[in-house]
Amino acid sequence: MLNSLGREIPEYIEGIGKLEPFQGALTKLSKGWMDEPTIPAPNKAYLPHQSKLCNSLEEAILRSNPHNGMTVSFHHHLRNGDILLVQTLTILHNMGIRDITLASSSLNECHDPILPYLEDGTVTRIYSSGIRSQLGRAIALGVLDIPVVIHSHGGRVRSIHTGKIQIDLTVIAASAADCEGNATGSHGKSAFGSIGYAVIDARYAKQVIVVTDNLVNFPCIPLSISQNFVDQVVVVDSIGDASKIATGTTRITNSPMDLRIAKLAADVIEHSGFFEPGFAFQVGAGGASLAVAKFIREKMKTKAIKGSFMLGGITSYCVDMLNDGLFETIFDVQSFDATVSNSLLNNRRHIEIPAALYANPFNCGCITNKIDVVVLGALEIDVDFNVNVITGSEGNVRGASGGHSDTASGANLTVVVCPSFRGRIPIIKKRVHTIVTPGESIHVLVTERGICVNPAFPELEANLKRAGLNIKDIHDLEIEVDKITGIPAPLEYTDKIVGIVEYRDGTIIDVIHQLKEK
């Protein structure tokens, strides 16, 4: 069957079940209620003064009823500095546990060591917002029999609420915790900031293990994770390396190209009609995206504009803008560098939020619904403004859905920033390899060669032309770039589906086919 974007979606996939095709960014949500059930969280009981402390992660896992076919979840706030996911799966592998469903909020290069566990049947299914590096290459080549499911951050919460993902065990890294499992990421030697993605896991997992390298006296404050959900507490020498959070797409750029694009994007925002007192703002992952905050900060000071709130992945730029009095509040579901932790701990206007409040579409209003302006990156964008942030030009799975479609669906102005080509590979396509965010949610594309406005928003285009910005038709820009780079040979795929891309409402916006190995 075809979804509304013309992508062929199977009606059923073995191991996944029946699929519902994407019909539009807000079509399903516009009913006002959802037919999917909300599953109950598990009931548990602990006796007075019963100890939760375990001598090792292995002991805690043994107490957690490990079994074949279990689902194990993790959060990715330490990003490339995480070590607990690999340690946990290695322990389960050594115990002989097989057929594991891995439900990590994202997977990074540091998780490549689990690749042998995908090859030997220890891990047979994956749900995640992002997959990169060797894992992404192996998945593109078909290492798993059952397709991976790519979801957004808000979609992950929906999947857990509705029982699509039923977590048997979650392992939560905390930079500080007490003996009962009250835990935070906001202080301690490994402080990483917000722990917002793990809150839903703690609420719904049958077994919850908090792992910390900083056991503090009871009570650990703030209670980002609270003790009433925690089964076991483990103290280790290290939970990971917080200095590796700000790597890859979360590193603030010094690239002249990225900075030029960021400056142009800030000009677009300034003249869009949404750069007004009280506006709400988010920048997504990616060098140019994050750098836009630097230029917006300068413009807000010049024009004496004070915004309402900043949201999402929070950088030191965001904290500086809060401290400058340029925004009233920060809502932080994920901190993009470890230096943000001090602000999260000490500034009451820097508020840690769970992923459900951030972006879950199945509730009475997530905060992404209130964004005025969001700036996002792209691996590819097509002439219909559909965006790919999950598969690369070589066909590998190498990116993340993250909050891309969540924020784009809610924002009054969604600005996509990217170079027109990378390594002589054009970024603007007639058809992207994989759609993650539909073009109807994208207002503007900003590249170093010009700015393209989605024709669905003529008033915005008129505003930007009046400001003298270099506006181009996206079809013309695509042709211009193709003349520079040439048109790459098409990738070759098999009929096997190795990944499905869920839109935030649970419908399927695209599938990923197995890449033919050359």
pTM comes to 0.96
19 and 12 in contact (C-beta within 8 Å)?
Answer: yes
DSSP string, 304-331: T--EEEEEEEE-HHHHHHHHTTSEEEEE
437 and 400 in contact (C-beta within 8 Å)?
Answer: no
Residue numbers of the chain with a pLDDT score lower than 50: none
CA–chain centroid gap for 351, Å, is 19
Instruction: Give me the pLDDT at residue 247, please.
Output: 65
The residue with tokens 């000490």 is: 346
- Please tell me the CATH code under which domain 256-487 is placed: 3.40.1080.10
- pLDDT tens column, 379-406: 999 999 999 999 999 999 999 999 999 9
Instruction: Give me the pLDDT at residue 252, please.
Output: 67
* Listed residue (430, 442, 436) closest to 500, CA to CA: 436
Domain ranges of the chain: 12-24+51-244, 256-487
Please report, to the nearest 10 degrees, the dihedral formed by the alpha carbons of residues 478, 482, 487, 493 taken in order: -20
Q: Which fold has domain 12-24+51-244?
A: Glutaconate Coenzyme A-transferase (3.40.1080)
Instruction: Give me the pLDDT at residue 249, please.
Output: 57
Same fold? 12-24+51-244, 256-487: yes
